[in-house]
Amino acid sequence: MYKLGEKITPDQAKRFAIETAKQGRGFVAPNPLVGCVIVDKNECFLAAGAHLRFGEAHAEINALNAVSDEGLLVGATLYVTLEPCSHQGNTPPCAKRLAELPIKKVVYGIADVNPQVSGQGLELLKLHGKTVEPFEQYQAECRELVEQHHFHVQHQRPFMALKVGASFDGKMALQSGESQWITGEESRIHARQLRGHYDATMVGAGTLQYDDPSLDFRDTSFADQKQNKIVILDPKGRACEDFQSKTLFEKHDAKNIFVLTREEHMQKWAKNLVHVIPWEASSRGWELALKNLYQKGISSLYIEGGSFVYGQILTHGLAQKLYLFQSPKLIGEGMSWTHYFKNGSLQEVPELKNWQSLPIGSDRLHIAYF
């Protein structure tokens, strides 16, 4: 945190804009995360702001509102992680507001991909005599802030991330089926926190039957702050009968639960008052089901297993991101988390990109992209 009037370098301002953007995590969808820092003509900190909740003010406006006197903006520089918007949405266009103010320069992280915005915000600012510059660093960080948004705007389906907890040797369970717990408590809390960064969590019917998870936010910063949506993949309708005895049913409103199942099992699920969405184990079946979820307001999906679900997502190439919590335990023979994913040759095997790895308790969290 910087104090009003404190000296701040351009590099610090960029990094602080990125950190500030993260304040909106989990609450801005389907909008992107955006952070903004305003620095006066003497390179002193004036204000910061983030887009905090969908429907509320954008980052630039929150930062501007924190400036007590418009006179302070004369010659100021505004750092913003994403190109300012140029269209009327829930809120008026930010680029227009900025254009009218006496600020001198706008430094932006990345351009928007939204066709209603892309480049136009920057053009408007230039037309009004502002200097406009991109960040020269931190592109990857800025892209990460908007990854869910950019993906769903371009593809009209949810951004999907696999969350896996596995042993050092990639197993989710012993041969006996025992699986609790392979990863440590810090990892499990961290994984629940990440759950909050997504609109919805997906699990398979097997996980529901055997683990009876609550899939809630209990010990995270999202507890009592957010209702998450649940997607259940139940091809054969087998989780339907005793669903009302499950922890999931007790902890979540039925209106927040979405079941993907084959057409012939849809009817029997309806009695549980959840959303029931037709699904088939094919690329086309997935495409339709995901579009359906997207139309129902799910713009990002956090996939928590089990192995059949992972296999489906991998086989159909549906995920964009992977979180693997790797524990130091060596299980040996057991259930690999990629057991249901088949490849004929090394040439066709997918290769993860932008792989980062960090310690979490005695485990490691690997984050990578498909």
Q: Which is nearer to its own copies, 88 or 175 (CB)?
A: 175
Closest distance to its own copies from the beta carbon of 49 (Å)? 35
Of 345, 360, 361, 367, the one binding its own copies by CB under 8 A: 345
Q: Please report, as residue ranges, which positions from 351 to 370 form the binding site for its own copies (by CB under 8 A).
A: 351-353, 355, 357, 359, 362, 364, 366, 368
303, amino acid identity: I
Token pair recorded at residue 287: 């495409």
Token pair recorded at residue 368: 């990578």
Residues β-bridged to residue 303: 162, 202
Binding to its own copies by residue 349, rule CB under 8 A? yes
Of 104, 211, 341, 367, the one binding its own copies by CB under 8 A: 341
| Residue position matching structure tokens 């950019």 | 150
Options 6, 43, 60, 185, the catalytic residue:
60
Binding marks (x or -) toward its own copies, 311..330, rule CB under 8 A?
x--x---------x--xxxx
Give residues with Cβ within 8 angstroms of 347, minimum separation 6: none
Beta carbons within 10 angstroms of residue 335's beta carbon: 19
Binding to its own copies by residue 250, rule CB under 8 A? no
Q: How far apart are CA 22 and CA 144, in angstroms?
A: 10
Cα 284 versus chain centre, distance: 24
Binding to its own copies by residue 232, rule CB under 8 A? no
Asked whether 230 and 243 are in contact (CB, 8 A), the reply is no
60 carries an active-site annotation? yes
Q: Please report, as residue ranges, which positions from 136 to 195 form the binding site for its own copies (by CB under 8 A).
A: 167-171, 174-176, 178-182
Binding to its own copies by residue 340, rule CB under 8 A? yes
Q: Is 359 helix (H, G, I), strand (E, B) or coil?
A: strand
Binding to its own copies by residue 55, rule CB under 8 A? no
Q: Which is nearer to its own copies, 213 or 361 (CB)?
A: 361
Asked whether 305 and 333 are in contact (CB, 8 A), the reply is no
Q: How far apart are CA 334 and CA 331, in angstroms?
A: 7
Binding to its own copies by residue 283, rule CB under 8 A? no
Closest distance to its own copies from the beta carbon of 104 (Å)? 41
Q: How many residues bind its own copies (CB under 8 A)?
A: 47
Q: Which is nearer to its own copies, 63 or 335 (CB)?
A: 335
Per-residue DSSP letters for 220-280? STTTTT-PPEEEEE-TT-TTSTTGGGSHHHHHS-GGGEEEEE-GGGHHHHHTTTSEEEE--
User: If 0-12 CB within 10 Å is exposed, 13-18 middle and 19+ buried, where does residue 59 land?
Assistant: buried
Closest distance to its own copies from the beta carbon of 332 (Å)? 3
Closest distance to its own copies from the beta carbon of 136 (Å)? 24
Closest distance to its own copies from the beta carbon of 321 (Å)? 13
Known catalytic residues are 60
- Residues within the interface to its own copies (CB under 8 A): 167-171, 174-176, 178-182, 311, 314, 324, 327-334, 336-346, 349-353, 355, 357, 359, 362, 364, 366, 368
